[in-house]
Amino acid sequence: MSKQKAGTKSRLSALHAMFTEALIDELKAAGEENIPLPAADKSVIAKFLKDNDITADADDESMNALRDEYADDLAEKRRERAAQIMGKVGGGEDDLTSLGII
């Protein structure tokens, strides 16, 4: 048996480009046909983005709007959780305020 050689950088780059296009095509088709994307496909896409250091910047206007939309909910949940913890350890809201938690 002959030993297989690793792919050249140009071939790997071409494979990467083809895979990227395949993922984009799959997303577009699912959107156009209004078909939900299977969870496994979403996982593959998410891993591909993560492995390639592709992230969404909070500087983006839509990301800021999304963050702002949930900021109050998150703050309220944090207050509730902090009060719950302080209740278990015998503290109160005054303790939370003095610690800068609420």
**pLDDT, tens digit, 9 for 90 and up, residues 3-22:** 666 678 899 999 999 999 99
Q: What is the pTM of this model?
A: 0.49
Q: What confidence category does residue 81 fall into, taking pLDDT thresholds of 50, 70 and 90?
A: confident
Q: How far is CA 75 from CA 17, 61, 98, 99, in A?
A: 42, 21, 17, 16
Dist. CA 54–CA 24, nearest whole Å = 14
Domain ranges of the chain: 7-55, 57-102
79 pLDDT above the threshold of 80: yes
- Mean pLDDT computed over 72-101: 76
- Mean pLDDT computed over 37-66: 86
- Mean pLDDT computed over 54-81: 82
**Number of Cα atoms under 13 Å in the Cβ half of residue 97:** 3
Dist. CA 72–CA 45, nearest whole Å = 30
25 pLDDT above the threshold of 60: yes
